[in-house]
């Protein structure tokens, strides 16, 4: 199952065409935009939009604690190589999306993050679990998402 429909793909192509004339930058930008759209669609607009709002304490001051920074904004403001982590995360989502109970697992992650602060550590933990599930799936093993751990390998 493809997460991005034809309309989404055309929109991304149009955005990239306007921004980058050289072929390599254009292709990199396409991958980057696609990754952000996949994350937005699967994790939801509310989760995704928090990356641009940041965190505000009770006095109305923005927090700068790096551990509390939204994963998207943290990865986009670090060195350019950090963007690869976002692209890889979207790739794991794309590869696992059609698996049993995967969407429910992601919804649970987003729901848990709504109840508390979105943390970079939790994001990295989920990304690692998806990476391992993706690795096992690519090696021909059946992946089943269960409550804890996030996935189980069936031989």
pTM (2 d.p.)? 0.74
Share of the chain above pLDDT 70, in %: 79
Q: How many helices (H) and strands (E) does the chain have?
A: 7, 2
With a CB cutoff of 8 Å and minimum separation 6, the contacts of 22 are none
Query: Mind giving me the DSSP string for 3-45?
Result: SS-HHHHHHHHHHHHHH--SHHHHHHHHHHHHHHHHHHHHH-H
Comparing CA positions, the residue from 84, 97, 79 lying closest to residue 134 is 97
Q: Indicate the burial class of 92 (C-beta count within 10 angstroms; 0-12, 13-18, 19 or more).
A: buried
Asked if residue 21 has pLDDT above 70, the reply is no
pLDDT band at 65 (very low <50, low <70, confident <90, very high): low
Using left for φ > 0, alpha for ψ between -120 and 50, and beta otherwise, residue 54 falls in: left
Rounded distance between C-alpha atoms, residue 109 and residue 103, angstroms: 10
What pLDDT digit, counting tens, does each position of 89-99 carry?
A: 999 999 998 88
Res 99: pLDDT = 80
Res 57: pLDDT = 47
């Amino acid at each position: 199952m493809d997460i991005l429909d034809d309309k989404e793909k055309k929109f991304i192509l149009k955005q990239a065409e306007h921004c980058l004339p050289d072929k390599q930058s254009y292709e990199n930008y396409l991958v980057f935009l696609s990754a952000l759209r996949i994350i937005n669609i699967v994790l939801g607009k509310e989760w995704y939009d928090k990356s641009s709002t940041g965190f505000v304490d009770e006095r109305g001051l923005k927090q700068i604690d790096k551990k509390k920074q939204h994963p998207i904004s943290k990865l986009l403001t670090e060195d350019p190589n950090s963007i690869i982590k976002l692209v890889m995360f979207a790739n794991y989502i794309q590869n696992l999306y059609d698996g049993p109970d995967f969407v429910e697992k992601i919804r649970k992650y987003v729901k848990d993050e709504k109840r508390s602060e979105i943390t970079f550590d939790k994001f990295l933990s989920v990304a690692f679990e998806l990476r391992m599930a993706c690795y096992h799936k690519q090696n021909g093993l059946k992946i089943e998402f269960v409550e804890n751990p996030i996935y189980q390998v069936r031989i």
